Every structure is written in C-alpha cells, then in structure tokens.
Amino acid sequence: MNHLALLATAGRTIPDVVVFFAGAAMILSGAIGVITLRNPVHSALSLILTLFGVAVLFIEQQADFLAAVQVIVYAGAIVVLFLFVIMFLGVDRREEISTEPLASQRPLAIVLVVAAVSSIIALGAEAKWAVGPQHVNGRTLGPYQNIGALGRSVFTTYLFAFEATAALLVIAVVGAVVLARRSGSATSDESIPGSAIYEDAAIGEGDD
C-alpha cells in the first residue's frame, strides 16, 4: 500500500474525529495559556492541560504506555517540580508583559514564527515525507501489546541508549545537588570553616 495514500485518505470514524479535535483543543488552548498568562503558576496549570491533550492523542494513536508515562512523568513530576520552584523562589507574582526592553522584538518574533510554521506545513504538504520501509524496528502491535513491543525494542535495539540515559539521569541529579549546595554554603556562613558546615548538613540530611 502506498504510505502517502495511507496518510492522506485514511478512513476515519466519527469518534476518532471527536477525540482528535478534543485533544487538539486541549493542546492549543493550554499552549496559548502558557505563553499569555502573566502568573507563572497559571502558566504551569495551562501546561498540564496541554500535556493531558498530548496524552489523549497518544492513546488515540495506540501508544498506551507513552500516554501513561506522559501523565505520570510530565504532569505528575515535571510540572510539580516547576510549581515547587515557582513557589520556592516566590516569583508567583504577575510579570509585566506590557513593557519590553527590546523594541520590535515581539512583532518580529510573531512574524518569524508564523513564517516558520506555515513553511513547515507547506513543505509537509509538498514533500513525500512519510515514505519508507515499514516495521523496521518491530511492529507497534496495537492495543494491549504495546507495552511488550516497546519493552522488547528498548531492551534490545536501543539498549545502549537506555544505559546512556541512566548515566544522564545520574549526572543530572548530581549536578542539581552540586548547584544547590555550592550556592547555599557560599551565601549562608562564609566565616565558618567548610568542614563544620558539611558535617552539619550531613547530620541534617540523616534526620530527614
């Protein structure tokens, strides 16, 4: 079967169309809310709406495991981390968007983004971007078997990348701890010798 024809003239049913447009409305309204709301907390809540919309479209495309991970990791962990930092820093007051230091930055940005998106869509309509061999890394296997297919792929074909992400996560965690600790000890008590500070910090962490 011609893949381009599959893309263009796939037979669709009414529930699919309804789910797609509901997800698209969630995604677009949430995204516009993220960039227009002045309070960063409201932006984070709009981001949750967008992430849920993306999860809905993942389920619509039979990527069940990724939809669950999207909700748990993105909406559950990353947005909570955003909200924690916003409230920890106390920057949840309104940002004044009216004044901008660079004149004509905003209209220029709008013009550039509209040009880029329309050219992307035009290129996608022109080019044969979805033609290629099918099932190269294994089939998606549809509902109820998606997790097994994804697990086999990650632990065989992409095993090295999987191990590399483990190293990446460890490096990120260690880096975050180093960043937070160094600035904290530099600003709090500079006169006390460093060893005493670290011993106190270790005792405090042990109590937690």
Partner 1 sequence: MSIAGSWYLVLAAILFGIGSLGLLIRRNVLVMFMCIELMLNAANLTFVTFSRVLGDIGGQAEVFFVLVVAAAEVVAGLGIVVAIFRRRSTAIADDISSMKG
- Give the footprint of partner 1 on residues 97-126 (CB under 8 A): 97, 100-101, 105-106, 109-110, 112-114, 116-117, 120-121, 124-125
Residue matched to tokens 């709009």: 46
Residue 140 or 197 with smaller CB distance to partner 1: 140
Q: Based on the shown chain and the rule CB under 8 A, indicate whether residue 144 belongs to the binding site for partner 1.
A: no
Q: Return the residue of 154, 192, 196, 201 that touches partner 1, per CB under 8 A.
A: 154
Written as six digits, the tokens of 83 are 């909200």
Q: Based on the shown chain and the rule CB under 8 A, indicate whether residue 2 belongs to the binding site for partner 1.
A: no
79-114 b/e (C-beta count within 10 Å ≥ 16 → b): beebbeebeeeeeeeeeeeeeeeeeeeeeeeeeeee
The closest alpha carbon to 94, from 130, 41, 139, belongs to 41
Q: Based on the shown chain and the rule CB under 8 A, indicate whether residue 28 belongs to the binding site for partner 1.
A: yes
**Rounded to the nearest whole angstrom, what is the least distance from the CB of residue 78 to partner 1 in the complex?**
5
The closest alpha carbon to 46, from 65, 63, 32, belongs to 32
Q: Return the residue of 22, 68, 71, 82 that touches partner 1, per CB under 8 A.
A: 82
Residue 157 or 199 with smaller CB distance to partner 1: 157
Query: Between the CA of residue 181 and those of 54, 174, 184, 197, what are the distances in Å?
Result: 36, 11, 5, 11
The closest alpha carbon to 54, from 30, 90, 83, belongs to 30
Total interface residues for partner 1 by CB under 8 A: 98
Binding mask 188-207 for partner 1 (x = CB under 8 A): --------------------
Residue 61 or 192 with smaller CB distance to partner 1: 61
Q: Based on the shown chain and the rule CB under 8 A, indicate whether residue 172 belongs to the binding site for partner 1.
A: yes
